[in-house]
Amino acid sequence: MDDEQSLLSEPEPDPWPDAAAEAFAHLSERVATMEERLDGRMAVMARALEHIAIEKQSLEFPDYGPTLAKMNGYLATLAGQTKTIMDAPAMQLTPESMAERIDVAADAARATDKATIKKLLELHHQAHADQMRAVGAIRTKQKQRWHMLYCGGGAALAVSLLWLIYPGWAASIGPQSWLWPERVVPVARWASLPYGMLVSASCAAATPTAGK
């Protein structure tokens, strides 16, 4: 009985310190494992870097100097051309200035057209005046021809009438050496006599007729 009471009176052992120790021990093991893994990875990375350094040393890089010089030359040329384009008057145009230039060009073109049309009108008027003068000259010549024809026809008609009325006038006017027809000569002689002789001759010619 005393033993049982002594056992009951003794305190029970605390289980928590053992659990904490086990947890810390387990954590220490995991940390050690992680450190080993980290050391292994660091070693792998170190070896990889060493290999990369060795490969870089073994690589031969080409000389890009000439290519870069050409590229610089191209860029300089392009910059000059770009500056020329930017300084061009066309790049400085605005809609308003373009409209003004179009108006000025249109006015100049219209002025040239007006001058050309004016010259053409002057030439047309001059040609028309020349044509009218030529037509007037032609009409004048035609009128002169018609007047000459009228005068010639009138003179011929007058001569014909005079010849019918007084046929001996041509023989009396013409020289004596000309040979005239016989029927014209007596008339010409009769026409050349004085007026008194003509009257007496006419009376003498009428007397025998009366006596008979």
* Residue 182 banded pLDDT, cuts 50, 70, 90: low
Residue 101 forms part of a structural domain: no
Q: What does each C-alpha distance from 43 to 39, 50, 52, 127 come to in angstroms? A: 6, 10, 14, 113
Residue 50 forms part of a structural domain: yes
10 or 40, which is more confident? 40
Residue 44 forms part of a structural domain: yes
Residue 118 forms part of a structural domain: no
Residue 43 forms part of a structural domain: yes
Question: pLDDT of 63-109, one tens digit each?
Answer: 778 888 889 888 989 988 888 888 877 777 777 877 888 888 888 88
149 or 165, which is more confident? 149
pLDDT of 187 above 50: no
Question: pLDDT of 99-146, one tens digit each?
Answer: 888 888 888 888 888 888 888 888 888 888 888 887 777 778 778 788
Q: Which residues contact 101 (CB under 8 A, 6 or more apart)?
A: 93
Question: pLDDT of 10-24, one tens digit each?
Answer: 555 555 557 777 877
pLDDT, residue 105, reads 86
Q: What does each C-alpha distance from 87 to 48, 73, 91, 111 come to in angstroms? A: 57, 21, 7, 32
167 or 91, which is more confident? 91
Residue 39's domain comprises: 23-58
Question: Is-contact 184 167, C-beta < 8 A?
Answer: yes
pLDDT of 184 above 80: no
Instruction: Specify the number of domains making up the chain.
Output: 1
pLDDT of 188 above 70: no
Using a pLDDT cut of 90, give the percent of the chain over it. 0
Residue 115 forms part of a structural domain: no
174 or 159, which is more confident? 159
Question: Is-contact 191 169, C-beta < 8 A?
Answer: yes
pLDDT, residue 189, reads 47
Residue 211 forms part of a structural domain: no
Residue 148 forms part of a structural domain: no
